[in-house]
Structure 1
Amino acid sequence: MNDNIESLRARHAALCEQEPKLRIRERAQRLGATEAELVAANCGVESIELTGTAQALFRELGTLGQVMALSRNDWCVHERHGAYTNIQAEGPVGIVLGPDIDLRMFFGSWKYFYAVIENGRHSIQFFDKTGEAVHKVYRTEHSDAAAWDAFVAKLGVPEKTAVMREAIAPAIEAENADDAAALRAHWLSLKDTHDFFTMLRQFKVSRMGALRAAGEDLAQRVAGDAVESTLARAAETELPIMCFVANRGIVQIHTGPVKKLVRTGPWYNVLDEKFNLHLNTEAVASSWVVNKPTSDGWVTSLELYDANGEMIVQFFGERKPGKPELPAWRELMTSLCAQPLAA
């Protein structure tokens, strides 16, 4: 094991010398390793393994004060500043319902946890059993540094366990609906947007398969630049939105306005004081306006998918259960559509 770690460190050092601007996720991919393996081996970082379950660690995050929460997938990074409050993390599913940090955690695959220092920057990092990063918490100038150090001292262990990659079985789902009419009828009977995932499991169909089967009044493909025009319009009109970014272990949500929009190469960015979004628009294979009935009226979203049919990011107008959709958001979504939406 030590020989493997030393070999990984040597290969990592050579890569950093050749391409010093690569981020750790990119370096792991180049080396045929996982990000957790690089962190555990102290490749470009200093790390301390944290003991306990993900749930137990999450219940302690509220002690750290103001931090930056980061969740991402391959094509989109969601960063939100605030404090972890109203933490509910007892079973396989957890939630954080603070006014700034808003999360849904699915702990089933979470396995490796570290306190990390990289270029002087402190973070708490959570990885799943494949070695992929699920969620990171960064210390900022507004964090409680003493509480942070106490957190690491309390939960850190002197020896690290080896990172052993485990496969996660993919969901069994069809790319096309077997009975499009039945799926559409079920879709039209929805009372809550959260019931959509249950519908997909019931029909054993992928999300993209459901969108293709539903009919254009329920799911309509729109122009590839829809995300840029949507965010630009939201910024211009101060329209508050909700932005969801997910991986298999977590969903991170921003609710509120967006202001500063900046294009940097393939990345389209929101660079606001409390919220940053980094979206690789070159990875967007299709964009959809999705229309769902609820007990509060119709709710529309803009959803972006990659070439494999995986969702990259999802946008709604700001809303809460019991409140109808913002008319300005509905108008914005319908303006993207060539065909009328069900209403």
Structure 2
Amino acid sequence: MPVTPPKGDYLHRMKTIDPTVICINEATKRAVRELHIGIINMMPDTALKKTETQFTMPLHYASGGLFIVPHFIALDGVDRNKKTQQYVDENYITFDQAKENGLDGLIITGANIADPDLRKATFYEPLSDVINWAESDLGPTSTLYSCLASHAYMLIKYGEERTPLQEKRWGVFEHKVRNETHPLTHGMDTVFDIPHSRWNEITEDQFTKYGMPILIASEEAGVHMATSPDGLRSVFWQGHPEYNTNTLLGEFQRDLGISAERRASAEQTPLAPLPKNYFHGKGLSLIEDFRNKVEAGLYHNTEHKGHLPPEIFADIIESTPNRWSSAKRALLSNWIAAIIDKTHEERGKPFMDGVDQDNVFNL
């Protein structure tokens, strides 16, 4: 059952997507134990609201009738423009408030940063505080670290530097489940696709040297999902199964515009490449034609600046298959089910009595 905080823009937007959404006040009246999931959204202003729904709507549908309440959490050090900061102030809670109230689960999104050195990120120290709290006796049952957040965890926890890639790992890649009996992968298709979009990675060896099992990986894209040695407390995603069908196209437009501007001042600057295995058929022909026109300078200093005309954007999306939605639903459903199975009935305590916190699933 979709549940939202009692007020704010998010409740209104969710009701336009799913009329069955109710607020937490109504859920409380129905006397059902709700599940409280925090979301620390570090994505840039233009992607903030999209990222909210990319995670929360699949969570709602994965709830199996349980009330799930998302709590959007503002992290100190994440730069926002004035308009977005006002939205965050009105709709997000502080990390201190989240700690005081307690959480059953926590999701930490990725972020776009200019410097590849994570230590130079303005939110590095606040994020370190979150990670340390998340693994304490007062933290959530499980924390899901997405993309850059996974890299930050490995640096903060183990001093492991992420490995720069020679080219952006960008596109949709085939993945295989390594352990079909683990509760986080149980019942999933054994082979499926997941989008990736990153310039760095944590390698399989970096994970396994600390006893962290690899649950899902790709020969071409590397590790997607791993967990902490206990199996649940920390879950790591390097891919983006939460992406909508049009997310990679939007990122391509952004990168194409940036590279086109750089190319105008430095002729040898290459244009952004196409995401691998993403465009197909008519959509592939349309996007290749558009990129060629940008490369020829036909769209430079025009209103487009690397952005597709709306009618072409729509045609491309119509012919672009989404081959990861089932994996997204399964991954989040299994994560929610594991939290429900292991969390304490009292909000603010991570595990029910009797759970071995060093081997949560007794594997």
* Common fold: TM-score over 0.5: no
Bigger helix fraction: 2
TM-score class, shorter: under 0.3
Task: Give the number of the structure whose residues are more often strand, by fraction.
Answer: 1
**Could you tell me the TM-score, scaled by structure 1's length?**
0.24
Could you tell me the TM-score, scaled by structure 2's length? 0.23
